[in-house]
Structure 1
Amino acid sequence: MGSRVSREDFEWVDTDEPHAQRKREILAKYPEIKSLMKPDPNLIWTISMMVLAQLVSFYLVQDLDWKWVLVWSYVFGSTINHSVTLGMHEISHSFPFGHHRALWNSWFGIFANLPLGIPISVSYKKYHMDHHRHLGVGGLDVGIPTDFEAWFFCTTFRKLVWVTFQPLFVLLRPLVINQKPITYLEIINTVTQIIFDIIVYYVFGIKSLVYMLAAALLGLGFQPIAGHFIADHYMFLKGHETYSYYGPLNFLTFNVGYHNEHHDFPNIPGKNLPLVRKIAAEYYDKLPQYNSWVKVLFDFVMDDTLSPYSRVKRLQKGKQLLEKHSQNQGKFCKDFK
């Protein structure tokens, strides 16, 4: 299946990503999978109930002691908020209302964004589509860490910091890697979110506002569900760039753990991905897979051979191969261990 190797640079390859070819093979063998390519209206009610649950929690935490505000923001709020972000992932693929109602999906994404406190829904869709079209391509896929992130966060302590504050790096990364013009929907998303945050502050108070923002930061940082950020594409085994997780946390994450299946068929909603695996089992059962996102986080932080460099990376087509990073970058990591 491959072996782990010391990382001082990304794993540069000149091959195409594997998902398009596997999709063609699977559809040729199992054309019935096309019947799974349809909207999932149940997402409308599921995501709406999660937003409502957070609104209720704003009311419940407003008079708690600060320590309990932070405890509940991690135990409950972070879990709901992370689930909401994965609901927005489903929305970015137009699953709630279907592709023929793209604007409806955008409005719904702005609504789903409210309990997070930070406007990300519209921008996320804009960049997430590049992640699917250009997996691992430098300058296009903002899921790839910047050179600075990979170079600096190379020790156990620094990786822990990087994982904990990963939401901030994800928010800033597009500005460095692939900045795009701001759209009118992003402006609407931002204005709506600011107004909502102000309402939360004036209706419920500062504790509810802190609860909301802390839940977003904690939920996307060092939290069990957030293990999928590392599990999805960080290369634990050489030669494998996408991994699936088939454990119980998929229940809270719209089956995002079925990540090989998702990248093979990004037009199939999460609820149908287990059926994809069942139909084409011989393609997926042989691929490396996880049964614990918590272990993924632990291994990533503690294993010296793993770092933000542990990603497959491709050059944009038409560009010549760039020189590798100097050996001094790797030495920097060793000097601080």
Structure 2
Amino acid sequence: MTEKLSGMNGMVPPNRHKEGVSKNASKDHKIYWTYTEEPHKSRRAAILKAHPEVAALNGYEPKTKWVVLSVVFIQLTCATLLANTNPWNWKFFFTAYFIGAFCNQNIFLAVHELTHNLAFKRAMHNRMFSLVANLPVGAPFSASFRPYHIEHHRYQGVEGMDTDLPTTLELILFDNVLGKAFFCTFQLFFYAFRPMFVRQLPLTTLHFWNILVQLSFDFLVIKYLGWRSMAYFFLSSFMAGSLHPTAGHFLSEHYNVNHTRLIQEGPGKDTPLETFSYYGPLNILVYNAGYHIEHHDFPYVPWTRIAKVRELAPEFYNNIPECKSWSGIIYQFITDSNVGMWCRVKRKQKSELSN
């Protein structure tokens, strides 16, 4: 990330928040607790007031379904071609890393687009198509991802509600180089299983269909292509969430690795930033997922128009520190002793903030 600390006044109006309470995270490795409100709602209001034309960017993108189907086809083709290849063969490994992982990261973020109803006009069509997008991942996740992700937007940073936050146990176990390397290698499992330990949500009919469709697909793959093809899907998913360039987006989105703070006057000053964007070339492979501040500000703008948000309201984005490299942030996260899982912002629920 770069340290562009000047000119932050355009980010949030100075009288927006209550006074925050902080600890120096870089010295005592403690999560920053704030008593300010979640920042993106107020930013959205300020941006729309200054640039009402941004609202016209909301809507769905019909092109998404064709990209998803193309990626699913690529993965099916690779799985078919590797059906008789030993998983320990370098060709199998390299294909999974250099093709499969990019494809399945694309799938992960396609499901993210579908979660926000950004591929079809009707919500149900987005839900059903997410089951198709899910297929090359190997395990059903799309139905579970949606409710947790919606809560991540609604309750960003709220302990016990935002399951994107690391747990206390994770903070204790992984506060060293080896621990952080382990987390980055297996972070897909943490994102998959952490929600079930933090906040269990009820199963729905969509969960049932997700499981049924996925298991039926897996059965057909194993029956007609063999277990090696199924192993290819799982290995692609694992690598997509491991030490892979595109996996850097998990860290770049909300980890404040430079301990940068919002510079402004009045209540809420000196509040740590908690959402960051990446504007590099890998965005073309993952539905512009790097535009993460813009996405939290306007979650119903699809990937083909999200860059336009920054273009129309530059004063709200140009001076915010940005992640320059997803590979670089993984390396920094693991090796820098002043960076860790504690580089996050937590807050109380809104009802507690008002007390």
Instruction: Give the Å deviation of 1:71.
Output: 2.2
Paired residues for 1:262-277 under 5 Å: 262-277=295-310
Higher helix share: 1
**Aligned-partner Cα distance in 2 for 1:300–1:275:** 30
Q: Does 1:186 align with 2:219?
A: no
TM-score, structure 2 normalization: 0.87
Gaps of 5+ in 2: 7-23, 260-271
2:240 match: 219
Deviations 1:191-218 (A, max 9, x none): 2111111111111111111111011011
Q: Which residue number in structure 1 is paired with residue 277 of structure 2?
A: 244
Aligned to 2:116: 93
Which residue of structure 2 lines up, in the alignment, with residue 308 of structure 1?
Answer: 341
| Percent pairwise identity | 36
CA RMSD of aligned residues (A): 1.6
1:157 to 162, 174, 178: 178
Work out the CA distance in 2 between the residues paired with 1:61 and 1:6. 49
Between the aligned partners of 2:321 and 2:255, the Cα distance in structure 1 is: 12
Residue 70 of structure 1: how far off its partner (Å): 2.1
Q: Aligned residue for 1:257?
A: 290
Pick one of 219, 222, 225 that aligns with 1:204: 225
CA distance in 2, matches of 1:8, 1:275: 37
Give the TM-score taking structure 1 as reference length: 0.91
Matched residue, 1:284? 317
Residue 107 of structure 1: aligned partner? 128
Give, in angstroms, the shift of residue 317 of structure 1.
3.1
Q: Give the whole-Å Cα distance in 2 for the aligned partners of 1:168 and 1:19.
A: 28
Residue 154 of structure 1: how far off its partner (Å): 1.0
Q: Deviations over 1:30-69 (max 9, x none)?
A: 1111111111011011111111111111111112233222
After TM superposition, list the pairs within 5 Å mapping 1:28-47 onto structure 2: 28-47=49-68
Partner amino acid, structure 1, of 2:247: A
Structure-2 residue corresponding to 1:232: 253
| Matched residue, 2:162 | 141
User: Partner residue of 2:151?
Assistant: 130
Question: Conserved in 2, the CA contact under 8 Å of 1:7 and 1:310?
Answer: no
**C-alpha displacement at 1:187, in angstroms?**
1.3
SS at structure 2 position matched to 1:122? helix
SS at match of 2:255: coil
Give CA deviations for 1:204-252 in whole Å, capped at 9, x if unaligned: 1111111110110111121100100000001113311111100000000
Please state whether the residue corresponding to 1:270 is helix, strand or coil.
coil
Name the SS for the 2:26 alignment partner.
Answer: coil
For the pair 1:20 / 2:41, whether they are aligned, the reply is yes
Number of equivalences: 319
In the other structure, the counterpart of 1:299 is 332
